[in-house]
Amino acid sequence: MLARLLLALSCLAGVHLHAKEPDRTAYKSPYSVKFNFKDEELIGDLLQGPRSDWKDQSSTPYRDWYNVANQPRWGYRGPPACHYDPPAGFSSKSVAWLRQRVIATGLRYVGYSYQHHHVPDWDPPADWPRDAEQTTPVGKGLDCSNFTSFVYNQALGIKPTGDVRMQAQLTEVPGPGKGRSFPVKRIELPKEHADYERELLTGDLLFIKNTSGNLSHVVLWVGKIGQSPDGSPLILDSTGSGNFDAQGNEIPDGIYLRAFRPNTWYFKQASHILRIIPDGV
């Protein structure tokens, strides 16, 4: 229910389209997530509370987001993300709550497009510097590693680097909150596709290599709370490449639930896993 609601809201937010990509306002995902917590308990502060104002996403005040004096420093990536404090009651929350809050936070941005930005609601004007390699129209959105970084940051006050190759090599992560850090656990790949569902946990980061063998992508593992028509495990990520869902429909670029099937590059090019939330917090 939450996933469908947030998808509808994000689609109404207004996203730039171009002729060759699917109409994200018309796209209806066959995938969903079933949480074990009520919406208010899981992300109430993100929907209506102190984390709900998108103008607070950056350490730079919103009034300065589009100041041309910042163009030389920021370029096309826009304002830097703030470092959120841990949510209220963080130390007393269960592991299940922490993991599911990460996914619920990520689902708030379903429908945002693939952009090389640091914060999701950065929407640069037409005269702002452009990324020469950007293939999707400029608008609100995040790329893969800035998405995983921002989600952990906003959800739990844990702020990994947004650089995908550096993120893949993390041995510790800043947070929860400023001035703290704790170890990150690296997990090698399961041997078979069927083993992923058993060995990965909700909120794990799965890193992917490109066809040249270089680390190039990261996704959030949704895990057992994911609901798929064909029973495939689900991931949540931001990508600019084409992908088709269980009904054969093309998934738009950007942030969406996608299937982790044996014939996808997610499985074929998988590199390793990082577990940010320890097994027994």
Model pLDDT for residues 215-234, shown as the tens digit of each residue: 999 999 999 999 999 999 99
pLDDT of 47 higher than 80:
yes
* Mean pLDDT, range 161-185, rounded to an integer: 95
pLDDT, mean over the chain: 90
Query: Which of 6-10, 28-32, 39-43, 234-238 comes out lowest in average pLDDT?
Result: 6-10
pLDDT of 9 higher than 50:
no
Which has more confidence, 136 or 205?
A: 205
Residue type, 133: E
Task: Tell me, rounded to whole angstroms, the distance of Cα 258 from its chain centroid.
Answer: 12
pLDDT of residue 70: 96
Long-range contacts of 50-56 (CB under 8 A, 24+ apart): 51/84, 51/87, 51/154, 54/120, 54/121, 55/121, 56/82
Which H helix or E strand runs over 96? Answer: helix 95-107
pLDDT of residue 132: 85
pLDDT of 265 higher than 60:
yes
Distance between CA atoms of residues 187 and 204, nearest Å: 10
Residues 227, 214 contacting (CB under 8 angstroms): no
This prediction has a pTM of: 0.90
CA 132 to each of CA 137, 138, 184, 216, 269: distance values in angstroms, whole numbers, following the listed order: 12, 11, 34, 18, 26
Q: For residue range 129-163, list pLDDT tens digits in order.
A: 988 887 778 899 999 999 999 999 999 999 999 99
pLDDT of 16 higher than 70:
no
Domains by residue range for the chain, with CATH: 2-275 (3.90.1720.10)
* Mean pLDDT, range 242-263, rounded to an integer: 94
Which has more confidence, 6 or 168?
A: 168
Q: For residue range 73-116, list pLDDT tens digits in order.
A: 999 999 999 999 999 999 999 999 999 999 999 999 999 999 99
| First-to-last C-alpha distance (Å) of the chain | 28
Residues 110, 238 contacting (CB under 8 angstroms): no
Tokens matching residue 277: 């939330």
